[in-house]
Structure 1
Amino acid sequence: MINEKYRELLKGKSIIREQSEYAAALGKEIGYENVFDYSLGNPSVPVPPEYTRVLSKLLTEENPVSIHGYSPSLGITEVRSKVADSLNSRFGMKYDTRHIFMTSGAAGALAHALRCVTKPGDEVLTFAPFFPEYHQYVGQTGAALKVIPADTDTFQINFEALLDNLNPNVQAVLINTPNNPSGIVYSKDTILKLCSILRDKQEEYGHDIFLISDEPYREIVFGGEESVYISKFYDNCLSCYSFSKSLSLPGERIGYIAVNPKATEADIIAVICGQISRGIGHNCPASSVQLAVAEILEKTSDLTVYETNGELLYKALVRLGFQVVKPGGTFYIFPKALEEDAAAFCLKARKYNLILVPSDNFGVSGYFRMAYCIDTEKVLRSIEALERFVKAEYGPPLL
């Protein structure tokens, strides 16, 4: 008999994937070059050439048995050591090998981190707008996800709502900056205030509150913005990272958890994650990929196109009368739709070959997400389509 819990999940299919599948089908009809697909956050720039050279050398010159064999449960030891050294050098931390756990991307990191610090019946707080899969990452642990309403003026943290929702049952807070879907980078003041509140609440409640930092867009920040390394300011922090965006390697599924050395029981958290892997079958990321990324930890793909695309779209959206907070990073922008029903708005956009994602599943109603990790030439053509869409469906902007 099929497990009814998972059968029920079929009713909640990802709207992002639905829009992406629609875009692919439309592309077969009219040519994908004519589909302005802003649905999926799939990096559009190639991996750094250094990665290709390193991987090629590994595959052709190294012992194939070791390259393709199982890695240790916690990840290849030398890779973990190199990750720790890199983080220490970049952010002034004091990680050791024992504080790093290699994972299958940020999703794998979050799946382990949440299980490590919660139990069924606990609460995890996160901040709208948020990545919809957080419901699954948290729900599958038996804990409950509670969403803090958004401050739609800035998309920084709504601290009044946070204080209203903090209670002794909260064991973890899940944060994502730079943020998917808003593109906003939380300011240093925001981070410092959050950390101060959580430290006070730990003392008040008499138990740890872990801050789980979802950081796959850490390297994609635009001019003048500072992407704060949160573990520097909060001891009970688990940093969950992915190379999917920085190195354009989403299909390789490689990332890690970095456990703040000052965290409670920091020296055994990675080992506990190894035990969690035994139960969820999510262990031993590909050995060849671990070894390759370890050689280029401080390299990135050429990420400048994302800032170019974001600037073009932001200016066009403002000119067309949209309310939108300017992104400080990532490759997402999150404008307010021109009608209350964001799903209806995005459905109308399809007539103009514009594939947009309505905001309801991100915890905010009346907005839409554009993942602008596409060629700049296509962004420019999409702006023409956006102009036609707005004029035909909503009339000229009221400037």
Structure 2
Amino acid sequence: MLNEHYKSMLGAKSVIRELSEYATARGKEIGYENVFDFSLGNPSVEVPKEFTKEMERLLREEDTMTLHGYTPSLGNPLYKEEIAKSLNKRFGMNYGPEHIFPTTGAAGAISHAVRAVTKEGDEVITFAPYFPEYGPYITGAGCKLSVVPADTSSFQINFDKFLEMINPNVMAVLVNTPNNPSGVAYSTSTLERLASILKDKSTEYGHTIYLLSDEPYREIVFKGADSPYVSKFYDNTLSCYSFSKSLSLPGERIGYVAVNPACDGAEFIVPMCGQISRGTGHNCPPSIIQQAVAKVCGMTADLSVYETNMNIIYDTLVELGFTVVRPGGTFYIMPKALEESSIEFCKKAKDYDLIFVPTDGFGAPGFFRMAYCIDTDKVKRAMERLREFVNKEYK
């Protein structure tokens, strides 16, 4: 008999994927250069040359069994060591290799981290707007996901609602900063207050509340933004990272969990992740990718184009009368639609070959997301089309 749970999920296709598929099909009709596709967050900048050179060197010089054989169940030692060194140098931490667990991107990191600090029936809280895939990650671990409504004036944490919702069943809080879909980075004051609440509630409830920090956009931070390292504020933090955006390697599925060494039970969490892998069939990212990324984990691709694109789009949105919070990072921006229904707004935009994503599924109805990881010249042409759309439909 087929599993009805997963069968039922077949009818709930990602709106982002549907729109991306539509844009691709439309591009075949009129030329993709004429479709202004802001749907999919696929990095658009080149992989660092150093990564390519290291891959070439590995394939040319290294023993094939070293390259392609099984890694230890807790990951390649060199990869773990280099990640720890890089984090310590950049953020003043004291990670060791024993605090790093390699994963298949941030998704794999979150899935492992949740299972390490919760049991079936526990509750995990996150904050709107949030990445919709958190639902399957959390419920797949047997937990309940609760979403704190957004503070739409700033997209920082809505602490009044958070304090209403936190309760003794909450074992973990999941944050994403800089944030997909809003582009907002949680500020120092936001993280200080969050840490203070989690410390107080952990004492009140008699158990540790862990903070899971989803950080795939950590390196895409814009000038003047206050975007500190989350683990600096709260000892009981597990950082969930991916090199998909910083190195433009989304297809390689490479990331890690970094367990704050001061975390309760820190000595157990990485070995536990190894056991979680046994039950989920995860069994480490590819050996060669771990080795290549170890060489370049302190580098990034040239990410400057994202800030250039953001400034062009933000200025145009303000000029046209949109309500929008200026992003502090990522390659997303989330304006308020010019009518009550963002779904209807995005449908109308499609008639102008502008592909936007309504953010109802992100917990922010009435807004829409633009992923601006596209060529800057195309962004400029898209802004002319946006002016045409707004002037014809809303003026």
- Normalising by structure 1, we get a TM-score of 0.98
- Residue by residue over 1:173-223, the C-alpha shift from the partner in whole angstroms, topping out at 9 and shown as x without a partner, is 000000000000111000000000000000000001000000000000000
State the match for 2:124 in structure 1. Answer: 124
Q: Distance in 1 between matches of 2:279 and 2:47?
A: 33
State the match for 1:185 in structure 2. Answer: 185
**Partner SS, residue 102 of structure 2:** strand
Structure 2: unaligned runs, 5 residues or longer: none
**Partner SS, residue 44 of structure 1:** coil
State the match for 2:252 in structure 1. Answer: 252
Q: Distance in 1 between matches of 2:27 and 2:65?
A: 42
- Residue by residue over 1:317-355, the C-alpha shift from the partner in whole angstroms, topping out at 9 and shown as x without a partner, is 111111000001000000000111111111111111111
State the match for 1:319 in structure 2. Answer: 319
Q: Distance in 2 between matches of 1:62 and 1:220?
A: 33
- Which is further off, 200-209 or 222-231? 222-231
Q: Distance in 2 between matches of 1:281 and 1:21?
A: 29
State the match for 2:28 in structure 1. Answer: 28
State the match for 2:195 in structure 1. Answer: 195
Q: Distance in 1 between matches of 2:255 and 2:53?
A: 20
- Residue by residue over 1:353-374, the C-alpha shift from the partner in whole angstroms, topping out at 9 and shown as x without a partner, is 1110001000011000000000
Matches within 5 A, 1:338-349: 338-349=338-349
**Partner SS, residue 11 of structure 2:** helix
Matches within 5 A, 1:133-152: 133-152=133-152
State the match for 1:4 in structure 2. Answer: 4
Calculate percent identity across the aligned residue pairs.
63
Once the two structures are TM-superposed, the CA of residue 307 in structure 1 deviates from its matched residue by 0.2
* One-letter identity of the residue aligned with 1:112: H
Once the two structures are TM-superposed, the CA of residue 11 in structure 1 deviates from its matched residue by 2.2
Q: Distance in 1 between matches of 2:200 and 2:309?
A: 41
* One-letter identity of the residue aligned with 1:293: V
State the match for 2:206 in structure 1. Answer: 206
- Which is further off, 210-219 or 87-96? 87-96
Corresponding position: 1:52 with 2:52: yes
State the match for 2:176 in structure 1. Answer: 176
Matches within 5 A, 1:272-283: 272-283=272-283
Corresponding position: 1:266 with 2:254: no
Once the two structures are TM-superposed, the CA of residue 12 in structure 1 deviates from its matched residue by 1.7
Once the two structures are TM-superposed, the CA of residue 227 in structure 1 deviates from its matched residue by 2.0
**Partner SS, residue 147 of structure 2:** strand
- Normalising by structure 2, we get a TM-score of 0.99
* RMSD of aligned residue pairs (Cα, Å): 0.7
**Partner SS, residue 126 of structure 1:** strand
Q: Distance in 2 between matches of 1:77 and 1:27?
A: 45
State the match for 1:394 in structure 2. Answer: 394
Once the two structures are TM-superposed, the CA of residue 226 in structure 1 deviates from its matched residue by 3.0
Once the two structures are TM-superposed, the CA of residue 43 in structure 1 deviates from its matched residue by 0.3
Once the two structures are TM-superposed, the CA of residue 86 in structure 1 deviates from its matched residue by 1.1
State the match for 2:67 in structure 1. Answer: 67
* One-letter identity of the residue aligned with 1:283: N
State the match for 1:285 in structure 2. Answer: 285
Structure 1: unaligned runs, 5 residues or longer: none
Once the two structures are TM-superposed, the CA of residue 282 in structure 1 deviates from its matched residue by 1.4
**Partner SS, residue 199 of structure 1:** helix
State the match for 2:155 in structure 1. Answer: 155
State the match for 1:297 in structure 2. Answer: 297
Once the two structures are TM-superposed, the CA of residue 72 in structure 1 deviates from its matched residue by 1.4
State the match for 2:331 in structure 1. Answer: 331
**Partner SS, residue 325 of structure 2:** coil
- Residue by residue over 1:85-121, the C-alpha shift from the partner in whole angstroms, topping out at 9 and shown as x without a partner, is 1111111111111110000000000010011111111
Q: Distance in 2 between matches of 1:297 and 1:154?
A: 32
State the match for 1:41 in structure 2. Answer: 41
Which consecutive aligned stretches of 4+ in structure 1 deviate over 6 angstroms post-superposition?
Answer: none
Matches within 5 A, 1:346-357: 346-357=346-357
